[in-house]
C-alpha cells in the first residue's frame, strides 16, 4: 500500500474526533461521579451512577443493592458485589407487565446514538478505504486490480453516503432524544454539538488540504 | 403473559435457603453468602420471585444511625408451597436414583 493512508497525520485526522469524544465522555462521567457522590468509594459511586439509570419500577431494587453494598467491608468483595449489581441495574429483568412504555421512562437510546455515530464516521470510511486499497488497490486508478472497478466505485459511493449519514446523524438523533425527554438529556445535546463540530472540523481540514496547506501551494 | 417455567437450579437453591426458616427476614448479601451466588445472579432471582408473588419484601424499620435501611426478604405462602413442592420433588428424585443404583451396588 503506497497511498499514504497509514500516514500518521491522516490517522490522527481520522481518529481525532473519536478520541476527543471518548475523552470528553470520560471526563464528564468522572466529574459527575465525583460531584454527586463525594465521600464514597469507587464501587459505591459506580453502582450509584448505574442505579440512576434504572426504570422507576425497578429503582427500589437498585436502592436495595446500594444499601447492601454499604454492609460489605472487604474491598474485593465490594467490587464483586458492585459489578454484579451494576449488571443487574443496567439490564434489570422484566416481566409481569413491568416493561415500561418508551414514553414513560425512555432510556437514552437516541442520545447514545447521537454521541456515538458522528465520531465513528471518519474511522468507518478510513477502515473501508484501507481494506479496499489492500484488497485490490484504488478503483479510481488504472493500476487497480479489481475485476469490476465500477462495482467497487458504487460501493465506495455508498460508503461515502453512509459516512455523511454518520457525521450528521447526531443532529436529528439529538433532537429526537431531547424531544423524547430521555434520561441523560445532556447526551442529546452533546450529540448535536458533536455532529456540528465534526462536520465543521472535516470541512475545515478538507478545505485546508484542497488549498494546498498553509502556503496555498 | 406470564410463563410458568420450572425454577432454575439457582432459583431452587434460593427458595430452599429462604424456606429453611420462612418466618425470618433475610438480607440480600447474606443470601448471596449462604447460597454462594453472586449479586448479579441473586438479584434477578429475587426480583422475579417477588414479581411472581413468591417473595415478600420490606425495608428495615429499626435502622442503626449512619447507615441506610436494608431491604429484607422472606417467602410468601405461595413461595413456601413452591419450596416444599420442589423439596418433595428433589427427595423423590434422590430416592429414585438410590433405587437405580442399588442393584448395581449389590451386583458389584
Choose the mutation target among A37, A44, A55, A64 for the interface with B, i.e. most B CBs under 10 Å: A64
B52–A71 C-beta distance less than 8 A: no
The ipTM estimated for the assembled molecules is 0.82
Q: How confident is the model at residue A217 (pLDDT cuts 50, 70, 90)?
A: very low
Cell of B6: 420450572
> Chain B residue closest to A70 (CA)?
B67
> Which residues of A are less than 8 Å from B70 in CB distance?
64, 67-68, 71
Domain assignment present for residue B4? The answer is no
B67–A68 C-beta distance less than 8 A: no
Note whether A98 and A7 are same-domain residues: yes
Burial class (CB in 10 A: 0-12, 13-18, 19+), A67: buried
Cell of B64: 442503626
Note whether A139 and A79 are same-domain residues: no
Domain assignment present for residue A215? The answer is no
Domain assignment present for residue B2? The answer is no
- Residue A95: per-residue pLDDT: 55
Note whether A3 and A81 are same-domain residues: yes
Domain assignment present for residue B40? The answer is yes
Domain assignment present for residue B50? The answer is yes
Its domain, for residue A78, covers 1-102
Note whether A73 and A124 are same-domain residues: no
> Chain B residue closest to A79 (CA)?
B39
A66–B28 C-beta distance less than 8 A: no
pTM: predicted TM-score of the whole model, two decimal places: 0.56
Q: Please state, in angstroms and as integers, the Cα–Cα distance from residue A20 to each residue in A83, A124, A130, A197, B50, following that order.
A: 27, 16, 22, 11, 44
Its domain, for residue B99, covers 9-107
Domain assignment present for residue B42? The answer is yes
CA distance A190 to A211: 31
- Checking if the pLDDT of A103 tops 60, the result is no
B68–A84 C-beta distance less than 8 A: no
Domain assignment present for residue B39? The answer is yes
CA distance A55 to A100: 8
Q: Which of A66, A71, A87 faces B40 most closely, judged by CB atoms?
A: A87
CATH number of the structural domain spanning residue B35: 1.10.10.10
Note whether A9 and A92 are same-domain residues: yes
- Residue A102: per-residue pLDDT: 41
B44–A93 C-beta distance less than 8 A: yes
Query: Could you give the number of structural domains in chain A?
Result: 2
Domain assignment present for residue A120? The answer is yes
- Checking if the pLDDT of A69 tops 50, the result is yes
**pLDDT, mean over chain A:** 83
Amino acid at each position: 500500500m503506497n497511498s499514504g493512508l497509514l500516514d500518521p497525520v491522516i490517522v490522527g485526522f481520522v481518529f481525532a474526533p473519536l478520541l476527543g469524544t471518548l475523552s470528553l465522555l470520560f471526563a464528564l462521567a468522572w466529574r459527575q461521579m465525583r460531584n454527586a457522590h463525594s465521600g464514597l468509594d469507587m464501587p459505591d459511586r459506580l453502582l450509584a451512577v448505574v442505579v440512576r439509570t434504572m426504570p422507576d419500577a425497578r429503582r427500589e431494587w437498585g436502592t436495595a443493592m446500594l444499601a447492601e453494598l454499604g454492609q460489605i467491608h472487604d474491598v474485593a468483595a465490594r467490587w464483586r458485589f458492585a459489578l454484579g449489581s451494576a449488571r443487574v441495574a443496567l439490564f434489570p429483568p422484566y416481566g409481569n407487565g413491568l416493561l415500561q412504555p418508551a414514553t414513560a421512562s425512555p432510556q437514552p437510546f437516541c442520545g447514545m446514538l447521537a454521541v456515538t455515530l458522528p465520531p465513528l464516521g471518519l474511522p468507518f470510511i478510513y477502515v473501508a478505504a484501507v481494506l479496499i486499497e489492500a484488497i485490490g488497490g484504488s478503483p479510481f486508478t488504472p493500476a487497480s486490480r479489481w475485476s469490476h472497478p465500477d462495482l467497487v466505485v458504487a460501493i465506495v459511493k455508498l460508503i461515502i453516503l453512509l459516512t455523511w449519514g454518520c457525521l450528521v446523524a447526531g443532529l436529528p438523533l439529538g433532537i429526537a432524544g431531547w424531544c423524547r425527554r430521555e434520561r441523560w438529556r445532556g447526551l442529546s445535546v452533546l450529540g448535536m454539538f458533536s455532529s456540528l463540530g465534526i462536520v465543521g472540523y472535516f470541512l475545515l481540514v478538507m478545505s485546508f488540504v484542497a488549498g494546498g496547506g498553509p502556503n496555498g501551494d | 403473559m406470564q410463563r410458568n417455567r420450572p425454577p432454575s437450579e439457582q432459583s431452587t437453591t434460593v427458595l430452599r435457603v429462604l424456606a429453611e426458616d420462612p418466618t425470618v427476614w433475610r438480607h440480600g448479601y447474606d443470601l448471596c453468602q449462604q447460597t454462594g451466588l453472586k449479586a448479579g445472579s441473586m438479584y434477578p432471582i429475587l426480583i422475579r420471585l417477588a414479581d411472581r408473588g413468591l417473595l415478600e419484601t420490606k425495608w428495615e424499620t429499626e435502622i442503626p444511625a449512619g447507615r441506610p435501611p436494608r431491604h429484607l426478604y422472606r417467602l410468601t405462602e405461595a413461595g413456601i408451597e413452591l419450596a416444599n413442592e420442589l423439596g418433595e420433588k428433589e427427595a423423590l428424585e434422590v430416592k429414585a436414583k438410590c433405587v437405580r443404583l442399588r442393584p448395581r451396588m449389590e451386583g458389584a
